Structure 1
Amino acid sequence: MGPRLFRRQRQVAGEFKFGHPSMLGEAVQFDMFGHMVAAADGYGTHWDVPRPATTCSHLLEAARLHGVASADCLAGTDLSLADIGHNTTEVQAGQELAIVRNILARVSDPHEFARDVGVRYNFANMGILGYALLASPTLGDAVNIACRYAALSSTFHRLTRCDTADGAVLEFDNSAVPADVREFMIERDMFAVINVAPLLIGQLESTIALKVELPGIDFPIDRLDFPWLTVEFDLTSTRSAVSIPADALALAMPAADTVTAQVCAQQCEDLLESRRQRRGMAALVRSRLVRDPGQLPAMAEIADELCITERTLHRRLAADRTSYRALVDEVRVTLAAALLESGLTVEGTARQLGYSETAAFTRAFSRWTGTPPSRHRRLRA
């Protein structure tokens, strides 16, 4: 694998420090639900990108084991069980944080809950990132991919690899993780790593030793009972990290394939860029418009809901390379196509989207797609 695909990326947008909402200053903005969404320059942290609803479904499944109702988990998130259950749904990071906080306020043992969430992760539900990891030529290459595309996973940590004379240290930087959920996040991520470890390093012929540093966290060591793996814990460290020996880094991955790895890495790059373009203020406005497409509010109304001026909203949407008009059109054309493809008539689709005249909807749809809605409906049918 060439160095271009697997080079380490240390520069990630959003060098902002966040804590509990009560400790945050003016550098942070909140959405209409009271969730942190963006920094003052219009960009959020490295994890502030849309993510698959699978991450939230793991939270809800584990919460049920602890007697927490799904309705309580989703309170204040503007998400429904149908949203979480749809495999194409994406959620905002702030919505996932709200779910975590709802659950942590109700469970009796947050450490056990973190374990029950973490063990639900595997390569099958990691999407293209999971394929990119498995197809990497070596474990060291897989570590590089994990660092570069961590935002495509469930983690809120920034992953960085630091090479040493003995191997490499994979650091989990939590400085941008809200303080009230930091312990849960690192415990969940460590259990997730444990769950996928057999496929990553389980094919070694001899036992290897890993060093896990978890500052002040009483992590259950008995969960790491693998015959080919020994783990040394350091609970006094000031960082969260996993040290990997050099001989393990050179190990070939079980499904190593250079061509496949290149294709998967490029797809990861494209997906991450796509999600970055849908974060921040544009994502908030889009989510608000989808809630009631038949009664689309004026830009001034949304600005008022977000407690900002219309001019500020315009500026922040411009920073996201879009506009309110463009977002309205985007939401309408997406919903219109879905309704037409579901079998709804052109007239019915126009009414659902708030058009008083079918002719006006037909002209708009033709402008958006280059095809009249009646033809689009016939072709899709």
Structure 2
Amino acid sequence: MTTPDLHTKRPAASLVLMLDWAAEFGLTVQQCLVGTRISPAAVRSPAAEVSGQQELRAIANIVAALGDRPGLGLQAAARYPVTAFGVWGFAILTSPTLGEAIDVAVRFVRLSYAFCTFETRRHGDELSIVIDARSVPAPVRRFVLERDAAAIPNLYREILGAPPPPSRISFALPDPGPAVGLYEEMFGAVPEFGDAITSVTLPAELLSVPLPQASSHTARLAEQQCRLLLEQREARTGRAGQVRDLLLTDPARPPTLAQVAERLSCSTRTLRRQLEAEGTSFRKLLDEVRHHLGTELLQSGMTVEQVSNRLGYNDVSNFSHAFHRWKGDSPRAYLARQTMTTSPRTRNR
């Protein structure tokens, strides 16, 4: 699971929805934007972008004003239509089946407005969607976890026009007391509270449920757009960009943190602090370099073994495990899927 980079810019649509929702409780835009360095006029521009850090600050202002009460994030989640999520929402909407919609949603979740990380886990005849909020600041953790988790049943209702399917829900939150009814209304079942993890578990047979606006061709185009947009957003600048450039010089034998610090004329401690200030780390940057380069090399025609060697993995299985974490597929399965979607016969359907 990859923690969202709070310094990466995102469309301001989510923040605007939050401001409009907060206004219903009597909060002004100025109150919500205190400390964000965003002007009320600029945030409503169609092309406006904000950082995750700025949106989180606005959420903190709203939660502080309204009180961190159970169910507040669930109420906010109901304000997010699938169209608010742009190409990410479109990729979900046009997926052939519920299972494929979940797959694309989790793989490209960084294009959504989520601050939690999402991961799917298969257990026999069940699929669990695990939502992790540990990286979210404590003052807004409950609110954000509720809002992000509620996107699952919220999008299901909108796309299929039906109540959420039978599922088992658990929350890494204390029992909400009287507010439990809000959870039941949103999820269609009473969750278990006080669990070690937050998850929504579905029976596997639901994964084959067809979606009403499915279009394989459109879904492929939307997924391609998701991939391109994610790569653009993850393009690094500043100190992180300098580190990334150094890692790319010899991916088979990438320099260590100490070697990079020496090249940049600073101590390892200073470099760690600078990268942390930019919302990343040396390990995360190395993983990103291997992710993007590995995908490009596979698509260029190199074998899995050749790519593994080129990226400095001492064992093909280690590369395969890493690739599965990045793409949700083994390298060979990923290549087979890419071949199917780019073959003339498939394109002309």
Same fold? TM cut 0.5: yes
Long gaps (5+) in structure 2: 242-269, 286-349
Using a 3 Å threshold, how does the CA distance of structure 1 residues 210 and 190 change in structure 2: closer, same or farther?
same
Using a 3 Å threshold, how does the CA distance of structure 1 residues 279 and 157 change in structure 2: closer, same or farther?
farther
Deviation at 1:51, TM superposition (A): 1.3
User: C-alpha offsets along residues 32-66 of structure 1, whole Å, 9 cap, x if unaligned?
Assistant: xxxxxxxxxxxxx4555211101111221122122
TM-score by length of 1: 0.58
Question: What amino acid is the match of 1:241?
Answer: S
Deviation at 1:247, TM superposition (A): 1.4
User: Out of 237, 240, 256, which is 2:198 matched to?
Assistant: 240
Question: Which residue number corresponds to residue 260 of structure 1?
Answer: 218
Question: What amino acid is the match of 1:197?
Answer: Y
Aligned length: 245
Deviation at 1:237, TM superposition (A): 1.2
Using a 3 Å threshold, how does the CA distance of structure 1 residues 61 and 171 change in structure 2: closer, same or farther?
same
Question: Which residue number corresponds to residue 13 of structure 2?
Answer: 54
User: Out of 83, 89, 111, which is 1:130 matched to?
Assistant: 89
Secondary structure, in 3 states, of the residue corresponding to 1:63? Answer: helix
Deviation at 1:201, TM superposition (A): 4.7
Q: Is 1:76 matched up with 2:11?
A: no
Question: Which residue number corresponds to residue 269 of structure 1?
Answer: 227
User: Out of 115, 118, 125, which is 1:166 matched to?
Assistant: 125
Question: Which residue number corresponds to residue 216 of structure 1?
Answer: 173
Instruction: Quote the Cα distance in structure 1 between the aligned partners of 2:240 and 2:38.
Output: 18
Question: What amino acid is the match of 2:155?
Answer: V
Secondary structure, in 3 states, of the residue corresponding to 2:120? Answer: strand
Instruction: Quote the Cα distance in structure 2 between the aligned partners of 1:114 and 1:175.
Output: 16
Question: What amino acid is the match of 1:234?
Answer: E
Instruction: Quote the Cα distance in structure 2 between the aligned partners of 1:53 and 1:232.
Output: 33
Secondary structure, in 3 states, of the residue corresponding to 1:60? Answer: helix
How big is the alpha-carbon RMSD for the aligned residues of Structure 1 and Structure 2? 3.0
Instruction: Quote the Cα distance in structure 1 between the aligned partners of 2:45 and 2:162.
Output: 35
Question: Which residue number corresponds to residue 38 of structure 1?
Answer: none
Deviation at 1:232, TM superposition (A): 4.5
Give identity over the alignment, percent: 29
Contact 2:12 2:48 in 1 (8 A): yes
Kindly report which structure 2 residues correspond to 1:14-53, keeping only aligned pairs within 5 A, or say none: 45-46=4-5, 48-53=7-12
TM-score by length of 2: 0.63
User: Out of 131, 135, 143, which is 1:176 matched to?
Assistant: 135
Deviation at 1:113, TM superposition (A): 3.8
Deviation at 1:78, TM superposition (A): 1.0
Secondary structure, in 3 states, of the residue corresponding to 2:202? Answer: strand
Secondary structure, in 3 states, of the residue corresponding to 1:81? Answer: coil
Bigger fraction of residues in helix: 2
Contact 1:136 1:261 in 2 (8 A): yes
Instruction: Quote the Cα distance in structure 2 between the aligned partners of 1:261 and 1:157.
Output: 25
Q: Is 1:103 matched up with 2:62?
A: yes
Question: Which residue number corresponds to residue 338 of structure 2?
Answer: none
Question: Which residue number corresponds to residue 248 of structure 2?
Answer: none
Long gaps (5+) in structure 1: 1-9, 15-44, 284-307, 321-381
- Higher Cα radius of gyration: 1
